[in-house]
Amino acid sequence: MTSPDLARASAAAAAQVRSMDRVRLAKKTSNLFRPRERHDQPGLDLSAFAGVQETTAATDDRPATATVGGLTTYEQLVDELLPLGQMPLVVPQLKTITLGGAVTGLGIESTSFRNGLPHESVTAMQILTGTGEVVTATRDNEQADLFHAFPNSYGSLGYALTLTIETERTRPYVALRHLRFSRLSRTAEAIAHIMATRDWDGEEVDFLDGVVFSRTEAYLTLGRWADTVEGQPRPSDYTGQQIYYRSIQHRRRDVLTTSDYLWRWDTDWFWCSRAFGAQVPAIRRLWPRRLLRSDFYWKLQDFEARRGVVAAVDRRRGRPAQERVVQDVEIPLEHTAPFLDWFLTHVPIEPLWLCPVQLRPSAPTQPTPWPLYPMRPGTAYVNVGFWSAVPIQDGAEHGDVNRAIEAKVTELGGHKGLYSEAFYDEATFAALYDGEHYAQVKARYDPDGRFPTLYDKAVRAR
């Protein structure tokens, strides 16, 4: 889309916001796992803001960048950048996550131990605010308060129409090494070493994540850029009959194309496709390959959430109701092993995903550069992801398990992402996500409350 077309689309979107009392985004896909109110009125259409608008090459004193529409999915973004030998600094693991969504709602992946979170690579954003204005926010201009409060605001402060992000060079392949650990403490020690040195046994580490299958079986997957397929006749393919997460238990080394590596988790939605039978060999052989992807599983899950077909069958069979436990939490590395030990003792969910992360170096004047998700600069964290459901035991209530997890995360100095259900009371939520700062920015950019508040969206599901 040309600049004049974008200007017209921006003006039309701003006018639409000014005509609405309550604004919500019209979007065909979602990666949220919290219930949402249904609306009869049409949502805000920002579909014009998709695709790469411009790229710039790296220079001696400036990284390569791409200016991208906020509604661009990472699948489209990768498809457009990889042929140029570039990719975003962090590519969240699911194809239909949008760039704007990852910035306003946080994102993470195996480069996060060196590149932080997606919003940290943003140099400028055009944001449509609740006043019906389009402002350009950077880290040091008049809209710097909005720039820094935008991450983890989940569209409650505005929508990113375009974003300029730093990119990095790619190579054709990613060579993998799977390390097994029988003790959670040793897993954490290895993470600390790699985060500090970006090295393991003399091999450079460019990508780092892990899977905990049980208290005595955990793996770290170390990836490094490669120009050739090493040690095997061809790169592995986990987009069909083979399942990536199972390969971690049976292979010590592997090689994937860069594209297949970036989307290794999407084919089976990590391991969640098993809930739909997609990992049963007889079913998988019949399952169309084009439907082996996260957005299709999400549609199945959303249908069940709205219709409750499986829940009704379980009730008739006398099975207990289920509490959905779908969360990603950031735990300080020093407390990660104790958290995992507590979780595996109290919550019957396995496997768990591990994704080490630390903020990129920040200026000394910014002790908490992203106030709505106040991770500390210079501190190593591990994102722990768990996505399943647990039976509601006799005498228990829906939400009890999630509340216990929230309390444990807070006790250990961590935070949890807000893409799924949250159960905090309003005062606790404000304390954890800097409600005072949020209120100041909200009053400036959405004084009439056209967007729901962050608490309304994350906890009240409005």
- Select, from the ranges 11-25, 136-150, 314-328, the one with the highest average predicted confidence (pLDDT): 136-150
Domains and CATH numbers, the chain: 3-170+454-458 (3.30.465.10)
- Tokens 């739909």 identify what position? 276
Q: Residue 39's pLDDT is what?
A: 58
> What's the rounded mean pLDDT across residues 199-215?
97
Total count of residues recorded for the chain: 462
Tokens coding 273: 């496709």
> What's the rounded mean pLDDT across residues 237-263?
97
Give the 3-state DSSP-derived string for 386-443, with helices as H, strands as E and coil as C.
EEEEEECCCCCCCCHHHHHHHHHHHHCCCEECCCECCCCCHHHHHHHCCHHHHHHHHH
d(CA 306, CA 304): 5
- pLDDT tens-digit map of 93-124: 999 999 999 999 989 999 999 999 999 999 99
265 close to 94: Cβ distance less than 8 angstroms? yes
Tokens coding 459: 């906890």
Phi, psi torsion values for 379, nearest 5 degrees: -110, 130
Residue type, 351: P
Dihedral sign (CA 11, 12, 13, 14): positive
d(CA 19, CA 448): 12
Burial of 250 (0-12, 13-18, 19+ CB in 10 A): exposed
At 20, is the pLDDT very low, low, confident or very high (cuts 50, 70, 90)? confident
Which residue spans within 287-414 are E strands per DSSP? 322-332, 352-357, 381-391
pLDDT of residue 27 exceeding 80: no
d(CA 163, CA 381): 26
Helix H or strand E segment including 207 = strand 207-214
- pLDDT tens-digit map of 302-328: 887 777 766 776 678 777 888 999 999
Task: Give the max Cα distance, the chain.
Answer: 67
Residue type, 340: L
- Number of Cβ within 10 Å of residue 282's Cβ equals 7
d(CA 450, CA 401): 33
Q: Residue 362's pLDDT is what?
A: 66
Q: Any idea of the CA torsion for 81, 175, 359, 413, to the nearest 10 degrees?
A: 130
- pLDDT tens-digit map of 32-64: 766 666 655 678 888 899 999 999 998 888 999
Q: Residue 315's pLDDT is what?
A: 76
> What does pTM read for this prediction?
0.94
359 close to 113: Cβ distance less than 8 angstroms? no
- Tokens 């309550």 identify what position? 22
Half-sphere exposure of 230 (CA within 13 A, CB side): 16
